[in-house]
Amino acid sequence: MKTDFLIVGQGLAGSLLAWHFLDAGKRVLVVDRDEAETSSKVAAGLVTPLAGGRFHLPDGLEERLDFARSFYWKHEELSGEVFFHHRRIARLFRDALEAEVWKNRLDRESGRYARFHGPLQVDAERISAPWGGFEMREGGWLDVPAFLEYTRRVLLERVSYAIGQVDSREILTSASSIRWKNVEASHVVFCEGWRGGQNRFFDWVPVRPTPGDILDLEIAGLGDETRILNKGGWLIPLGDGRFRAGSTYRPVGATAEVSAIGRDEVLAKIALMTSLTPAVTGHRCAIRPTIRRSQVFMGRHPSEPRIAFFNGLGSKGVLNGPWHASRLADHLLSGAPLPAATDLLLHFH
Ligand SMILES: Cc1cc2nc3c(=O)[nH]c(=O)nc-3n(C[C@H](O)[C@H](O)[C@H](O)COP(=O)(O)OP(=O)(O)OC[C@H]3O[C@@H](n4cnc5c(N)ncnc54)[C@H](O)[C@@H]3O)c2cc1C
């Protein structure tokens, strides 16, 4: 079989990249291990424009956010399904210091921040906000598993998907092509998530496997809340009193097994947001691919430029991923330069 791009891994990274190549009229073959619990399948899919306790608004965030939303909406139109759930986020301050940091942000940069916030109202009987907070706009969550499943369906229809494991030692290069088993490809792009650092071509990239937990909860008395609650942890309303809650950041290299420690850590975060008692109905754990915080890294192999890498989506993968995938696709298709902040070769080689 001949293809233009062999994409290894159909998590969020591989799926996004596949769409950009398909849109450019290229042939792709996506090969995935088809595991039950992967970072993309377990992820909450949150898009939080002002993340972290300093409410930093990084340069380029608005462009990436608008790009991501247009991308997901386009695929909602094509599929007739809903993937992106636009939700306001009730951002509750954790302490007086956070409230002060936010006040200073608004005093100094109110114009830049105007799009992203509004006043917060909460029912103090149910939601705990002693230091106040604000309502963060332009956020929401992507149903990542539904988006992956739709992508896989389309790839299957185009005979562009296979279940399997690509061992990087089985990739053979020659002047005319790259071979993997009976596949002859012009390019190979590794989108292997946390396994990316075990790849023989890219074992010099410090991919840090960072496991995390997510719970499914039922909270009687909070069923009418439509906003995502965020205060260290987060709580996503799914309707009928059901919520998704998270998450933890276990130490790099820790196991990704479901445990009482992980469950209790998430529940402790939820207890800071509401005095209502949740019932745990589900618990999942998976390994995030983290390279440097939530920074994406991508690019070609230094001596074999037909082999490339796309990884590190981290906790902002849903927001940043579509824009970065389009930059990498442009780079591989037409030689457009990569953004310096994400260029693998500038940082690690
Ligand atoms: C608990 C938790 C909560 C999260 N919450 C959020 C959130 O709210 N918002 C957000 O944006 N992000 C969140 N994330 C992070 C998010 O999951 C990542 O940004 C993104 O999904 C990573 O996608 P990926 O494709 O790089 O990796 P993965 O999802 O790990 O996908 C890699 C795929 O490649 C396959 N694979 C690997 N090696 C091979 C091989 N050699 N051959 C074939 N197949 C292979 C794997 O089986 C897998 O399917 C969360 C993650 C976790 C764990």
Q: How far, in Å, is the centroid of ligand 1 from the Cα of 142?
A: 14
Alpha-carbon gap, residue 43 to 14, rounded angstroms: 15
Indicate if 91 and 22 belong to the same structural domain. Answer: no
Whole-prediction pTM? 0.97
Query: Contact at 8 Å (CB) between 68 and 45?
Result: no
Show the tokens assigned to 110.
């109110």
- Which residue of 192, 234, 291, 294 sits with most ligand 1 atoms within 8 Å of its CB, as the best mutation to test the pocket? 192
- Are residues 189 and 246 both part of a single domain? no
Whether 178 and 299 share a structural domain: yes
Between vectors from CA 31 to CA 26 and to CA 33, what angle results, nearest 5°?
Answer: 160
Domain, as residue range, for 167: 2-43+145-207+293-348
Residue 156's CB: how many other CB atoms inside 10 A? 12
pLDDT of amino acid 251: 83
Encoded tokens for 322:
């579509």
Q: How close is the Cα of 319 to the center of ligand 1, in Å? A: 14
The DSSP call for residue 336 is: P
- 261: exposed, middle or buried (Cβ count in 10 Å: 0-12, 13-18, 19+): exposed
CATH of the domain at 224: 3.30.9.10
pLDDT values of the chain reduced to their tens digit, one per residue, 349 residues = 999 999 999 999 999 999 999 999 999 999 999 999 999 999 999 999 998 889 999 999 999 999 999 999 999 999 999 999 999 999 999 999 999 999 999 999 999 999 999 999 999 999 999 999 999 999 999 999 999 999 999 999 999 999 999 999 999 999 988 999 999 999 999 999 999 999 999 999 999 999 999 999 999 999 999 999 999 999 999 999 999 999 999 887 778 889 899 999 999 999 999 999 999 999 999 999 999 877 899 999 999 999 999 999 988 999 999 999 999 999 999 999 999 999 999 998 7
What local confidence, expressed as pLDDT, does residue 186 receive?
Answer: 96
Residue among 38, 149, 309 whose CB has most ligand 1 atoms within 8 A, to mutate? 38
CA distance 31 to 46: 26
What are the φ/ψ torsions at residue 301 (nearest 5 degrees)? -70, 140
Ligand 1 binding residues, C-beta < 6 A: 8-14, 31-33, 35, 38-40, 42-46, 165-166, 191-195, 212, 214, 246-247, 286, 288-289, 311, 313-318
What is the distance between the alpha carbons of residues 105 and 120, in angstroms, rounded to a whole number?
17
Q: Are residues 58 and 153 in the same domain?
A: no
- Residue 299 has a pLDDT of 98
197 and 221 housed in the same domain:
no
Provide the token pair at 89: 């986020």
| One domain, residues 133 and 76 | yes
- For residues 328, 331, 332, 335, the Cα torsion angle rounded to the nearest 10 degrees is 180
The DSSP string of 2-18 is EEEEEEE--SHHHHHHH
Query: Where is the domain boundary, 269, 289, 309?
Result: 289
Token look-up 């290069």 returns 173
pLDDT at 86 (0 to 100): 96
Mutational test site, ligand 1, from 148, 200, 315, max ligand atoms within 8 Å of CB: 315
